[in-house]
Structure 1
Amino acid sequence: MTLRIRRTVVVAVLAALATTALPAPPAGAGARQQAPDESARRADHTFVVRDGTRLTLAGRPFRFAGPNMYWLGLDENVGGTDPADPPAVDHPTYFRIRDGLTTARRMGATVVRAHTLGVSTGHPRSLEPSLGEFNPEAFDRIDYAIAEARRQGLRLIVPLTDNWQYYHGGRYDFLRWLGLSTDDDGAAFYTDPAARAAFKEYVRTLLTHVNRYTGTAYTDDPTIMAWELGNELNGMTADWVDDLAGHVRTLAPRQLVAAGSQHGVDPAVLASPHVDISDSHYYPPTAAGIAADAAAATAAGKVYVAGEFGSGQATDELLNQVAANPDVTGALFWSLFGHHDHHGFVPHGDGFTVHYPGDTPAMRTAVTALTRFAGRMSGRPAPAVTGDRPLLTAVDADYGINTLRWRGTAGATGYLVQRRGPGGAWATVSGTEPVGADDAPWFDLTTPTGPVSYRVVAVDATGAALAVSRTVGTTGSQDQVYDPLEDWFVSAGHSDSLRRTPAGDGVLVAPGRGRSGELRYRRADLTAATVTVASSGRPRAVLQVSADGTSGWRTVRPRIDRVGPGRYALSVAGLRGVDGMRVVWGRDARFAVASVALTARSDSTASTAPGAFALTAPAPDATGVSRLAALDWSAAPGAAYYSLTVSAHADLSAPLVAVSGLRTPGFTPTTAWPAGTTLHVRITATNGYGSTTATAAFTTRADLPGVVVDDFDTYPSDAALAADYPRNTGGDPITATLAPAGEGSGHSMRLDWTPGASGYAGVIRNLSVPQDWRGTTGLRMWVEPGADGQQLTVQFVASGFYWEKTLTFAGTEARVVQVPFGDFAPPPWATPGPLDLGSVTQMSLYPGGTTGASSLRIDSVAAYAS
């Protein structure tokens, strides 16, 4: 079948406005460097060509490095206004795509590998939600990502399906749709004619699509360097590889074909005359392993690419050896994420997440090594590109202390928060060192009384200004929120008729031609609002307010100011008794909304110091407290933030913890408290009018021998436990909840799972600080099976290498098990390596051995010493 995309048409004037640049940054900041460098510009419309076992571009050798950015077409990490909100699957925002690709360029990338630009089946948001039914809306973000990569001079490797059953789909979708067996690792995908035909139709639909932003068919776009038959396709047969590679070659004769299985080099790939690139993956990477696979691939006449390698092992020592090997044409790390739409970075808990310039010293070291490696592979240094300017998304007044949130800038290494009073000069109030994007929310601990204005300056490693945010004015009794409209999380609701159109550094929101629409906001005690719109003339926009935000809407007359070419600001002020505001489009309206800024009275006001409060957990003077115990205290009425000091000395000298600026009444340590020690605690609640202090003490228990991994006593709720033990999304459903203690006091962890099509279920714990298990003998834990014959696979990552052991339990009685490290072995899918216990970064638990819904409890996990 031929898929025809029905585009939602926005009026012609808005299409013209879509190319209008947003206001330039204030003087003193460099302009956004949007264009690719000259060498990339010259090669924009040139296909990458295979020349034997090498690649060329415009007649020159082409070697590359860069990231995997699997989420560019469909993102599993979309959450709410707070990056801590639970993730959901949705299309990534235009900002995330643009910011992520700009970050890739800043790290020297010339090629990006992106699964969900090609793998998009089986989910309501995907390209093919069910067999033979295609979702035109799913093409929009794929189109935009390809167009943005093209604008930035990046090339793409696009897998077409996945060996694994992740949210974005894969080869098992076709088997389930057709009622075919998934046994034998889904072998029918390669052998059944119906499965092959269904997949080929999906491939044809994708490859022949015409990009709405470029007007170019995917097969005619040199931005797409290679189509990969699939991600880590195990079990491919030689005839399947030949048939599918030939199918892609026929559809896209000027683009390359890549293929590879999970480990090593695949004989079927090496033998196929239609495959250009052999792709191998490494967790962890080793120079010897890469060299061996590269030699095998090039000996067979193929171009060799390391399509994935774990970022945690990115060092100059390793990557210099890879770059020096002429058989290695390209290498791509796993995996890069950019800034969150509202503040901070997009979080992802697989243990290989990379943010620029790095959240931790280890990540910063890896980012530096990866950037140098990209320069060695491409032969040119990373360009000093900068993304969208920083955006102040919220300024809240918390009991006399202002709290700021901002969206970060790709390419920036830090930020300066600046403040000025009426008629005054700008002054940096964030300290002598730049703060990071993940330091938001940021507290202005010296907030003065009265009106002030803020801005955020993005800086590079030398401290030079790259870009400056818009200015936000506020008082000590106001909350400000800014909605860039990239998502719907700030708004309270909208009509289905509204559509987004990317426009420069933002979006325009409007209904389709001839349709009405509305965009609603709900905030308690709204006092003012500014709606910025794009329009070819004075806009005929209707603004309405409501006392409850849901009914009784009344129209208000805004002040209208022209703020730029084709841009107008519609402002209302002096609102009283208003909890809601909405923008209304009539059927003949000819405007689009570019942003919405709201001002509300703060509900966090005070005129005195915070009220009394107390430590609640551990209980004051408690004994036998877990060494991993978190501290919780009752909320102090009127507190803007808390400071905490913990010491083994009554006078609080030589503190173990001394932190300030805690927003919530609680603290979780990153290292264990000393064993068998009385600890003294002082907590200070502060607002703009003074401070109140509470003190307490507790005594920790004598420790388990060795190193405590987790005793589950530190989690205040099931949600906190689940956040630390997220489900492996490729597996069957499983949940982690708190249960009564199995050993000692506090809690144990209960795992509930239901065996299904994936064949496994598990939870993954990424340790916030690597543990040193040297000097210990094995792993010890308390276990209570839920059924006779249950199994538990215990897996950990030590110095980048995976190790696991499967335990089988007879009976259901609780017991303590000890597993010597000598019993652990690398999983069959992992790269073998030495057992170096000096840096353990991850522990995963995979229960099994049952056929129905099951449960199991675990407590007191530790690396024990004999």
Structure 2
Amino acid sequence: MTVNRRDLLVSVAALAATAAAPAPASPFVRRVGTGFRRSGRRYPIVGANMWYAAWLGAPAPLGDRARLARELDRLAALGVNNVRILASAELSPLKNSVTPAFRSAAPPYNAALLHGLDVALAEIGRRGMTAVLYLTNFWEWSGGMVTYLSYVNGGRYVNMNDPAHPWPEFPDFASAFYSNPKAVGLYWDYVRAVVGRTNRITGRAYASEPAIMAWQLANEPRPGGSEAVGRRAMPAFQAWVKGTARLIKSLDRNHLVSTGAEGLNSCLQDAACVIEEHANPEIDYLTAHVWPLNWNWVDAKDLPGTWAAGAEKSRTYVAQHEAFARRLGKPLVIEEFGFPRDGGSYDPSATTMWKDRFYGLIYQAVEKSAATGGPIAGANFWAWGGEGRALHPDHGFRRGERAWLGDPPHEPQGWYSVFDTDESTKAIIRDFAETMQVVR
């Protein structure tokens, strides 16, 4: 690292000591300038993605609450204080979409999964952690926006990675969601139900639940795939961002709201799109995702040869979004970042030298921003697989299985998961957590 950790700790401690007087103590995470506070102290995000938490929290035989507790204990032991989880899934005809789902075309919603979400939030809160909950998905693996469209258009849809509908047909099809009032109306009905829910375990309304840090409009929403379609959909997309954020804030004034967006890579590489999306007063902080392999910045079969170029592009991408956050005066969370295991293997026994190096790159950017009063407020790695293991030699997921990993059903199981046996990666996460605690 270019910043010596000991020097960093000293500088961050000095920054914290000279900071303005803290805001009044609150059990809820608050945005104060370009940072977060909780209970009167700075709250840097040391986070993980664990999309499947509600499925583990559901009653048996669907759920596995003992495993949920073990996984959260493991994360807490690493110093993780924030978990980003899926709070929706739409029963879908799309290939590789998760089942069971939270909802179908009409209520009632799935009581078992909603109870599982209650349990997950109760367990997260019991450990002093917080959760970010996303309320739908642009992509197919949890049903998402294409499924909402199928509910109202007579059952029409496009499958992701269908050779008959090559990229970017899927994201272009999904972009019609924003301008379809019936589809958006169904989504908003679900938002009202979840944000307005009362937790059956804690007895608290979700709007009064300290274990919730933020509501998120969707996972990786974008106006479209192609330039032409994305530009046409842009006004409806931005109106959807504004309208949904306003709806959530009308239901819940205690919690933060964010978009769940990737940043430039989900905004047609247009800085004006990112700025408009996050300038809304109801959007409390910016998000960015960094995926060097998915974006063809590195080659999984030649990580040594492609690392330098991919690392430079990753640093540039983070810096661009840090600049957006400075301009808007809001925090930025690098809430998804992932990297393959050595040789592109999916097996837990494969080494993670390059993955660990990438985690260090992201964490260094966050630590440097924290040390200098910058707006990067934390990071959530993708994703915690814990004790989960692929059930098949091809590392594929079969519809209806329940051996959840950090990799959603459409991906090879083990692609980006951090397993409970990944000691070197866990050490890097633990070091990051220790460093970030100083700024509290």
Kindly state the Cα deviation for residue 308 of structure 1 after the two structures are TM-superposed: 0.2
Aligned runs of 1:823-842 on 2, under 5 Å? Answer: none
Q: 1:355 aligns with which of 416, 419, 437?
A: 419
Q: Deviations over 1:229-260 (max 9, x none)?
A: 00000116221111000001111111000114
Q: 1:187 aligns with which of 175, 178, 193?
A: 175
Aligned runs of 1:111-260 on 2, under 5 Å? Answer: 111-115=82-86, 118-122=87-91, 125-166=100-141, 168-179=142-153, 184-235=172-223, 237-260=237-260
Alignment check: 8 A CA contact 2:146 2:173 kept: no
Structure 1 residues 135 and 346: alpha-carbon distance in aligned structure 2, compared to 1, 3 A threshold:
closer
Report the Cα distance in structure 2 between the residues aligned to 1:355 and 1:340, rounded to whole angstroms: 7
Report the Cα distance in structure 2 between the residues aligned to 1:133 and 1:170, rounded to whole angstroms: 18
Structure 1 residues 380 and 151: alpha-carbon distance in aligned structure 2, compared to 1, 3 A threshold:
farther
Alignment check: 8 A CA contact 1:101 1:149 kept: yes
| Structure-2 residue corresponding to 1:323 | 367
Aligned runs of 1:454-473 on 2, under 5 Å? Answer: none
Aligned runs of 1:767-846 on 2, under 5 Å? Answer: none
Report the Cα distance in structure 1 between the residues aligned to 2:39 and 2:278, rounded to whole angstroms: 26
Q: Deviations over 1:281-322 (max 9, x none)?
A: 001373332122122123123221111001553434552232
Report the Cα distance in structure 1 between the residues aligned to 2:283 and 2:337, rounded to whole angstroms: 22
Q: Relative contact order (alpha carbons < 8 A, sep ≥ 6): 1 or 2 greater?
A: 2
Kindly state the Cα deviation for residue 263 of structure 1 after the two structures are TM-superposed: 3.9
Alignment check: 8 A CA contact 2:151 2:183 kept: no
Higher helix share: 2
Kindly state the Cα deviation for residue 193 of structure 1 after the two structures are TM-superposed: 1.4
Letter of the structure 2 residue corresponding to residue 335 of structure 1: A
Aligned runs of 1:424-823 on 2, under 5 Å? Answer: none
Q: 1:310 aligns with which of 325, 335, 338?
A: 338
Alignment check: 8 A CA contact 1:74 1:91 kept: yes
Alignment check: 8 A CA contact 2:275 2:324 kept: no
Report the Cα distance in structure 2 between the residues aligned to 1:44 and 1:301, rounded to whole angstroms: 22
| Structure-1 residue corresponding to 2:9 | none
Report the Cα distance in structure 2 between the residues aligned to 1:380 and 1:295, rounded to whole angstroms: 21
Kindly state the Cα deviation for residue 346 of structure 1 after the two structures are TM-superposed: 6.2
Runs of at least 5 residues in structure 2 that lack an aligned partner in the other structure: 1-23, 93-98, 158-168, 224-233, 265-270, 293-310, 341-354, 392-402, 408-412
| Structure-1 residue corresponding to 2:322 | 294
SS at match of 2:379: strand
Alignment check: 8 A CA contact 1:241 1:268 kept: no
Alignment check: 8 A CA contact 1:278 1:303 kept: yes
Q: 2:68 aligns with which of 65, 83, 97?
A: 97
Report the Cα distance in structure 1 between the residues aligned to 2:146 and 2:138, rounded to whole angstroms: 8
Q: Deviations over 1:104-144 (max 9, x none)?
A: 111110111112xx122216622213323312122121111
Displacement over 6 Å in runs of 4+: none
Letter of the structure 2 residue corresponding to residue 278 of structure 1: L
Q: 2:437 aligns with which of 378, 388, 407?
A: 378
Alignment check: 8 A CA contact 2:363 2:379 kept: no
| Structure-2 residue corresponding to 1:53 | 34
Report the Cα distance in structure 1 between the residues aligned to 2:439 and 2:63, rounded to whole angstroms: 30
Kindly state the Cα deviation for residue 95 of structure 1 after the two structures are TM-superposed: 1.3
Alignment check: 8 A CA contact 1:238 1:272 kept: no
Kindly state the Cα deviation for residue 380 of structure 1 after the two structures are TM-superposed: 8.3
Alignment check: 8 A CA contact 2:148 2:177 kept: yes
Structure 1 residues 96 and 244: alpha-carbon distance in aligned structure 2, compared to 1, 3 A threshold:
same
Structure 1 residues 128 and 346: alpha-carbon distance in aligned structure 2, compared to 1, 3 A threshold:
closer
Report the Cα distance in structure 1 between the residues aligned to 2:38 and 2:104, rounded to whole angstroms: 37
Kindly state the Cα deviation for residue 225 of structure 1 after the two structures are TM-superposed: 0.3
| Structure-2 residue corresponding to 1:653 | none
Alignment check: 8 A CA contact 1:110 1:378 kept: no
Runs of at least 5 residues in structure 1 that lack an aligned partner in the other structure: 1-42, 76-89, 359-363, 382-866
Q: Deviations over 1:191-229 (max 9, x none)?
A: 111112111100001111111110011111011100010
| Structure-2 residue corresponding to 1:271 | 279
**Does 2:54 align with 1:73?**
yes
Report the Cα distance in structure 2 between the residues aligned to 1:290 and 1:201, rounded to whole angstroms: 35
**Does 2:425 align with 1:366?**
yes
Identity of aligned residues (%): 26
| TM-score with structure 1 setting the length | 0.35
How many correspondences in the alignment?
316
Report the Cα distance in structure 2 between the residues aligned to 1:139 and 1:133, rounded to whole angstroms: 11
Alignment check: 8 A CA contact 1:164 1:170 kept: yes
Kindly state the Cα deviation for residue 45 of structure 1 after the two structures are TM-superposed: 6.8
Q: CA RMSD in A?
A: 2.8
Report the Cα distance in structure 1 between the residues aligned to 2:191 and 2:362, rounded to whole angstroms: 37
Alignment check: 8 A CA contact 1:48 1:57 kept: yes
Report the Cα distance in structure 1 between the residues aligned to 2:67 and 2:243, rounded to whole angstroms: 36
More displaced stretch, 210-219 vs 181-190: 181-190
Structure 1 residues 346 and 258: alpha-carbon distance in aligned structure 2, compared to 1, 3 A threshold:
closer
Report the Cα distance in structure 2 between the residues aligned to 1:215 and 1:54, rounded to whole angstroms: 30
Letter of the structure 1 residue corresponding to residue 334 of structure 2: A
SS at match of 1:291: helix
Alignment check: 8 A CA contact 2:25 2:39 kept: no
Report which of the two structures shows the higher radius of gyration computed on alpha carbons. 1
Letter of the structure 2 residue corresponding to residue 64 of structure 1: I
| TM-score with structure 2 setting the length | 0.66
| Structure-2 residue corresponding to 1:810 | none
Letter of the structure 2 residue corresponding to residue 321 of structure 1: A
SS at match of 1:352: coil
Structure 1 residues 137 and 241: alpha-carbon distance in aligned structure 2, compared to 1, 3 A threshold:
same
Kindly state the Cα deviation for residue 188 of structure 1 after the two structures are TM-superposed: 2.2
Structure 1 residues 203 and 318: alpha-carbon distance in aligned structure 2, compared to 1, 3 A threshold:
closer
Report the Cα distance in structure 2 between the residues aligned to 1:198 and 1:369, rounded to whole angstroms: 42
Report the Cα distance in structure 1 between the residues aligned to 2:286 and 2:77, rounded to whole angstroms: 27
Alignment check: 8 A CA contact 1:306 1:330 kept: yes
Report the Cα distance in structure 2 between the residues aligned to 1:173 and 1:293, rounded to whole angstroms: 31
Alignment check: 8 A CA contact 2:388 2:419 kept: no
Report the Cα distance in structure 2 between the residues aligned to 1:103 and 1:380, rounded to whole angstroms: 23
Alignment check: 8 A CA contact 2:175 2:222 kept: no
Kindly state the Cα deviation for residue 340 of structure 1 after the two structures are TM-superposed: 5.2
Q: 1:281 aligns with which of 276, 282, 289?
A: 289
Alignment check: 8 A CA contact 2:198 2:205 kept: yes
Kindly state the Cα deviation for residue 152 of structure 1 after the two structures are TM-superposed: 0.4
Kindly state the Cα deviation for residue 44 of structure 1 after the two structures are TM-superposed: 11
Letter of the structure 2 residue corresponding to residue 71 of structure 1: Y
SS at match of 1:187: helix
